[in-house]
Amino acid sequence: MAKAKAKVKKGRCSKCGAGEFITTPNQYDVLTFSKGKFEIVGTELINDFKVFCRGCSAEVII
């Protein structure tokens, strides 16, 4: 992800003007490796998700 940061102005990205935003995936699977393959043992959620501009990938700070 890009390190640039942007703000929202009038509902749009302050850097590129895009009106759509995306989040990072906020859950992941926990795996173990046995018998030559990965097995999913559970899914965990990440509480603090970040928002990024869909247009320029800058992290959006509110």
Residues that bind Zn ion (CB under 5 A): 13, 15-16, 18, 53, 55-56
Which one, 16 or 30, has the nearer CB to Zn ion? Answer: 16
CB of 18 to Zn ion, least distance (A): 5
Strand-strand pairing, 37-45 and 27-34: antiparallel
Pairwise CA distance, residues 12 & 21, whole Å: 9
- Residue 59 beta carbon to Zn ion: minimum distance, rounded to whole angstroms: 10
Q: 4 and 56 in contact (C-beta within 8 Å)?
A: yes
Question: CB of 11: closest distance to Zn ion in angstroms?
Answer: 12
